[in-house]
Amino acid sequence: MRILAIETSCDETAAAVIENGRRILSNVVATQIELHERFGGVFPEVASRQHVLAIRPVIEQALEQAGISAMGALDALAVTNGPGLAGSLLVGVNTAKGISFTSGLPLLAVNHLEGHIYSNWLAEGTAAQPITGEPLDPDRFPILVLIVSGGHTELALMTGHSRYQQLGSTLDDAAGEAFDKVARLLELGYPGGPAIQRAAGQGDPTRYALPRPLLHNRDHRFNFSFSGLKTAALNLTRGLTEGDEPITEQMKADVAAAFQAAAVEVLVEKTADAAQAFSAQQVCICGGVSANAALRQAAATRMAQLDLPLHVPPPFLCTDNAAMIGAAAYYRSRAFPHSEAELDLDVFANLPLVELQAAA
């Protein structure tokens, strides 16, 4: 089964062709990082306009790379319809509806978070290989999933394909948002995740003490909170800049290292706790923050101690892309054979992962 997938949930215009939910035939991403860098974050109206300009050439390039010369060589069309920026989502959804109408291809709506989860299933094709542990067993459940994308930090138990039980989520800032805000505070650049990692590589994580929010809070055992950690980093930085002497680059590196170490410890320990509590057979980490090298290493070490297979996508599949949307669409269509979307498909900026499953 070959699926043309489209992803425009935020600031990446992406299209891919995926075969049988595992094999990447093409995966094209047009990034907008340079456009939003001056704002220190994504500017929604600029993102939407850029999607309009980029969507057609990106789709054409994806089809060409996959060797698809006619829509008849495809079996279905998939598109992200939430969560994300409403204006950005509309570009992808309306484009997909137009293609579906003219080609007759069935249309599959995909939750962006579910797409991130299924990035772990893409084990065949262009440079897509397992990173840690054994290759993922695509049908071995339950799987404990940590989703750490820009605006989302969630723990979910995957009991079958496209079937989830939410265990916990962030009570305030997501991890990705905290990385961006601390990077902006330290004037390290945008996007914040890679900037923090670069600076932390030159810093001492033990020089400054920062809190591990909710790490040992049994009332919020599987929930997260990063607002307090962000505020602690802010107060620490302000304390370092009191007086006439500006904060040094080494101080910035040490704060970045301390922040990264605190965030990573919370993410890894709560994931390990949930995996044990729910007898997970495998652990998957996904989303943009999962590209962080410190998180990947700490998670690999911790899961090895528990003798649990850990799966993290290669970095190019951690950030937003359409390959993951095609993979999710394939497995969702298998789990729910009559789940095709109609041409009145709408977008939902705050579409939850679990409600998507329940409504299918």
What CATH number is attached to the domain comprising 108?
A: 3.30.420.40
Are 148 and 243 in a shared domain?
A: yes
Are 152 and 199 in a shared domain?
A: yes
> Is 136 inside any structural domain?
no
Q: Among 60-64, 126-130, 336-340, whose mean pLDDT is lowest?
A: 126-130
What mean pLDDT is reported for the chain? 91
> Is 234 inside any structural domain?
yes
Statement: residue 355 has pLDDT above 90: no
C-alpha 251/C-alpha 352 separation (Å) is 39
Statement: residue 119 has pLDDT above 50: yes
Average pLDDT over residues 211-229: 96
Are 308 and 323 in a shared domain?
A: no
- The count of domains in the chain is 2
Are 269 and 347 in a shared domain?
A: no
Statement: residue 301 has pLDDT above 80: yes
pLDDT recorded at residue 126: 46
> Is 29 inside any structural domain?
yes
Domain that holds residue 303: 143-312
Statement: residue 248 has pLDDT above 60: yes
> Is 138 inside any structural domain?
no
Is the pTM above the cut of 0.85? yes
Are 263 and 161 in a shared domain?
A: yes
**What spatial distance separates the first Cα and last Cα of the chain, rounded to whole Å?**
21
> Is 341 inside any structural domain?
yes
pLDDT recorded at residue 133: 42
Are 112 and 69 in a shared domain?
A: yes
Average pLDDT over residues 12-27: 95
pLDDT recorded at residue 84: 94
Are 220 and 149 in a shared domain?
A: yes
pLDDT recorded at residue 47: 81
Are 97 and 201 in a shared domain?
A: no
> Is 349 inside any structural domain?
yes
Average pLDDT over residues 127-139: 58
Are 181 and 235 in a shared domain?
A: yes
Are 18 and 157 in a shared domain?
A: no
Average pLDDT over residues 159-185: 95
Share of the chain above pLDDT 90, in %: 82
Using one digit for the tens of pLDDT, what is the confidence trace for 20-46?
999 999 999 998 766 667 666 676 788
pLDDT recorded at residue 136: 83
Are 162 and 117 in a shared domain?
A: no
- Helix/strand/coil (H/E/C) assignment for every residue in the chain: CEEEEEECCCCEEEEEEEECCCEEEEEEEEECHHHHHCCCCCCHHHHHHHHHHHHHHHHHHHHHHCCCCCHHHCCEEEEEEECCCHHHHHHHHHHHHHHHHHHCCCEEEEEHHHHHHHHHHCCEECCCCCCCCCCCCCCCCCEEEEEEECCEEEEEEEEECCEEEEEEEECCCCHHHHHHHHHHHCCCCCCHHHHHHHHHCCCCCCCCCCCCCCCCCHHHCCCECCHHHHHHHHHHHHHHCCCCCCCCHHHHHHHHHHHHHHHHHHHHHHHHHHHHHCCCCEEEEECHHHHCHHHHHHHHHHHHHCCCCEECCCHHHHCCCCHHHHHHHHHHHHHCCCCCECCCCCCCCCCCHHHHHHHC
Q: Among 7-21, 90-104, 235-249, 310-324, whose mean pLDDT is lowest?
A: 235-249
Average pLDDT over residues 190-215: 95
Are 180 and 110 in a shared domain?
A: no
> Is 6 inside any structural domain?
yes
